[in-house]
Amino acid sequence: MPKHLLSIDDLEKKDVENIIELSFSMLEILSRDIKKVPTLRGKSVGLIFFEPSTRTRVSFETAAKTLSSDTINLSEKGSSVEKGESLLDTIKTITALGVDFLVIRHRAEGFPHILAKLSGISTINAGDGKNEHPTQALLDLFTMMTRKRLRKVDDLKGATISIVGDILHSRVARSGIKLFSKIGMNVILVSSYTTLPKGIEKLGNGNIKIKTFFDDEFLKSDFVMALRLQKERHGNFYFPSDKEYNEIWGLDENIMVTLKEKNKDVVIMHPGPMNIGVEINSEVAYSEHSAIFEQVRNGVATRMAILYYLFSHQTQKTG
Ligand code: NCD
């Protein structure tokens, strides 16, 4: 059991199974009338978001509060960082607050690792640049299971997920490739050459296929996850226009009809925020095949599970 969750590499398969099992229990708590358990009473979680976020921050905050933990919010806007405070001083300040967990989103890849090392506090990576977003991958895995009514991670062995879009700039893709291949899923990446990082298949366990257009193998996927074009990270020219992107790689009504023909139970996913009309069209995003809002709901349960799991590490070490 790890002290931090900085990367999917921190997790053994057993850890993944435990976190998923706990997510089911947390989902049950969230379905109760009174959504509160005393598990983390007297503890506090520092939520440090130095990049824009809605669902991830709110989801962690809800998760912490449901477990009765206090939360401290820090964002770049309005903090001393804007006044020129160095990151090391910010880390010292955060450490001095005396929180028990840190949840950090930062544009610098590897920053959560530095924070974990220097603070010694149990740290969760909520997205570092285009590197990793491990809690998103775990909630995506959990959503595939709730959607298909599966109870064991092994039940997903041999199932195929296609990740479509801007792989180059996507931390969701990197963590997803690692996690899904770790548990024996087949992963297909569909992306334009311009947003396909060289050697990306090496992240997986040999179950990764790369395609630059939709083909027959893609059409038979069990799960299709669309990614947002990460324009804030596009220093260069990647696509002529959103319209052209949508015509070639967008999940639109036509591709949905063919997907359903090949696999009537195909599930559509997206980590959000969506750019409707670019990587996905509304007819697909809001269709009965879409698990996109289930992903948001499950995000709270999975993050409760992760906090609880790391907390068990702390109590194991001290007591
Ligand atoms: C993703 C992120 O921030 O990496 N969103 C999320 O966490 N729900 C994906 C994105 O921004 O496109």
> Cα(271) to centroid of ligand 1, in Å?
6
- In angstroms, rounded to a whole number, what is the distance separating the alpha carbons of residues 119 and 99? 10
pLDDT for position 317: 65
Q: Which of 16-20, 131-135, 231-235 has the lowest mean pLDDT?
A: 231-235
Does residue 105's CB lie within 6 angstroms of at least one atom of ligand 1?
Answer: no
pLDDT digits (tens, 9 = 90+) for 21-51: 999 999 999 999 999 999 999 999 999 998 8
Cβ contact 60:116 at 8 Å: no
Cβ contact 95:102 at 8 Å: no
Does residue 250's CB lie within 6 angstroms of at least one atom of ligand 1?
Answer: no
Does residue 133's CB lie within 6 angstroms of at least one atom of ligand 1?
Answer: yes
**What is the atom index within ligand 1 of the atom nearest the CA of 272?**
8
Structure tokens at 17: 């199974």
Work out the number of other CB atoms within 10 angstroms of the CB of residue 30: 16
Q: Rounded mean pLDDT of 195-209? A: 89
pLDDT for position 221: 98
pLDDT for position 237: 67
Q: Produce one character per residue of 281-311: b if its CB has 16 or more CB atoms within 10 Å, e if not.
A: beebbeeebbbbebbbebbbbbbbbbbbbbb
In percent, the amount of the chain with pLDDT more than 70 equals: 95
> Cα(42) to centroid of ligand 1, in Å?
30
pLDDT at 122 over 60: yes
pLDDT at 134 over 60: yes
**What is the atom index within ligand 1 of the atom nearest the CA of 230?**
12
Residue with tokens 């257009």: 213
pLDDT confidence bin for 89, thresholds 50/70/90: confident
Q: Is the preceding peptide bond at 2 cis, omega within 30 degrees of 0?
A: no
Cβ contact 138:302 at 8 Å: yes
The one-character DSSP state at 131 is: T
Query: Which residues partner with 163 through β-bridges?
Result: 189, 225
pLDDT for position 44: 96
pLDDT for position 241: 86
Q: Which of 53, 143, 172 to mutate to test the pocket of ligand 1 (most atoms within 8 A of CB)?
A: 172
Structure tokens at 276: 């409707």
How many whole angstroms from its chain centre is CA 260? 26
> Cα(201) to centroid of ligand 1, in Å?
21
Query: Which residues partner with 276 through β-bridges?
Result: 280
Does residue 271's CB lie within 6 angstroms of at least one atom of ligand 1?
Answer: yes
- In angstroms, rounded to a whole number, what is the distance separating the alpha carbons of residues 48 and 107? 12
pLDDT at 297 over 60: yes
pLDDT at 156 over 80: yes
Does residue 272's CB lie within 6 angstroms of at least one atom of ligand 1?
Answer: yes
The alpha-helical segments, DSSP class H, found in the chain are 13-30, 55-66, 87-96, 111-119, 134-147, 171-182, 216-219, 242-249, 253-262, 282-285, 292-318
pLDDT confidence bin for 319, thresholds 50/70/90: low
Q: Which of 275, 188, 290, 206 is nearest to 239 (CA)?
A: 275
The separation between the first and the last C-alpha atoms of the chain, rounded to the nearest angstrom, is 15
pLDDT digits (tens, 9 = 90+) for 277-287: 999 999 999 99
Query: Which residues partner with 162 through β-bridges?
Result: 188, 224
In percent, the amount of the chain with pLDDT more than 90 equals: 80
pLDDT confidence bin for 299, thresholds 50/70/90: very high
Sheet (strand 267-269) strand order: 208-211, 186-190, 160-164, 223-226, 267-269
pLDDT for position 236: 61
> Cα(175) to centroid of ligand 1, in Å?
12
Tabulate helix, strand, coil % of the chain (nearest 5): 45, 15, 35
**What is the atom index within ligand 1 of the atom nearest the CA of 51?**
3
pLDDT for position 76: 74
